[in-house]
Structure 1
Amino acid sequence: MTATDPAAGASAIPLASDFEAATREQWLALVDKAIKGADFEKKLVTRTADGIRVEPIYTRATANEGQQSALPGQAPFTRGASAAVEGLGWEIRQGIRATDPARANTEILTELNGGSNGVLLEIEAPGQAGCRITSAADMKTALSGMRLDLA
C-alpha cells in the first residue's frame, strides 16, 4: 500500500513495506478465534434491505476488475465525477444531533469556532432522530450567525 502527498507531487510513500502481506486464510483464522467458532455467515455477513450481500471485509482480490482500473473523472465514475480535487482538500465536518433548533445553533457555532469547517445538521424525520425543523423560522434559528458561504 502506498500514499501520495498532493503537495509533493506523485511521489509514493511505502506505508507497509516492512510487513508481510496477510492472507485471507490468516484473517479468517483470526476472525474464527474472535467470534469463538460462531457461524461466520450469521455473525459477520449482512444484507441490505433489498437483499444485497455485505461482506465484513473487501480486498483488491475480491474487487470488480473494472474498479481496479477506474480513474477519477472517467467512466464508470466509481472513483468520482471529477479528476481534480475540488474545494480545499480535507474537511472537518461535525454532525449536529441536537433536537432543539436553538441548541443546534449553539452546537453549530461552537464547532465552527473550534475548528470545524463544516457541519452536518441531522433533521428529525420518521424513524430518525435529529433537530425538529417544522418551519423556516426553526431553520433560521438553527443556522443563525453561521456563514453559509464559508461552512
Structure 2
Amino acid sequence: MTIQRMDNVLIVVEDLDAAIAFFVELGMELRGRAELEDRGAERVIGIDGVRQEIAMLRTPDGHGGVELAMFHTPRAVRGEPMDAPANTLGIRRVMFAVDDIDEVVARVGAHGAELVGEVAQVGDSHRLCYLRGPEGILVGLAQQLG
C-alpha cells in the first residue's frame, strides 16, 4: 500500500484568529474550528494534559489542507526564531499555487504578511516569492506563466 494523498500540514500558533484570517485571505476555506481535550489525541502526540483549539482549512480544490492548533495547556514552546531563514533545518514553508501573485501579496499584506525577498521570475515558467505571515509562518507562492 502506498500513500493516498497528503492530507494537511500542522502549524502551531499563539493567535489562532490572526492565523485563520491570513490563510482565508490567501484563499483557503475554513472547514471547522473546535476545542479539543481528548485522551486519544494526547496518546498520538505524546503530551499529557492537552487542551487545544484547532482550525481546519482546505485549498479551493479540496485536496490540500492546513491544520492550525493553539495550545491552551500545556502552552506552546518556541523551538526556533520566528524569522528563521529558509535554509534552517526542518519544515520551512508551505507553497501554494496562485493565479495572480501580485494580487495575493497585496491582499495578505493587510494581514501583516511581508515579503522575505522579492517576487522573482524563475526561468520562463514561474514567478515565485516567500511571505512571512503571522507568527513567522513562512508561505511560498507560485504563479505559473503562460
- TM bracket (short chain): under 0.3
TM-score normalised to structure 2 length:
0.21
Higher helix share: 1
Q: Which has the higher strand share?
A: 2
- TM-score normalised by structure 1 residue count: 0.21
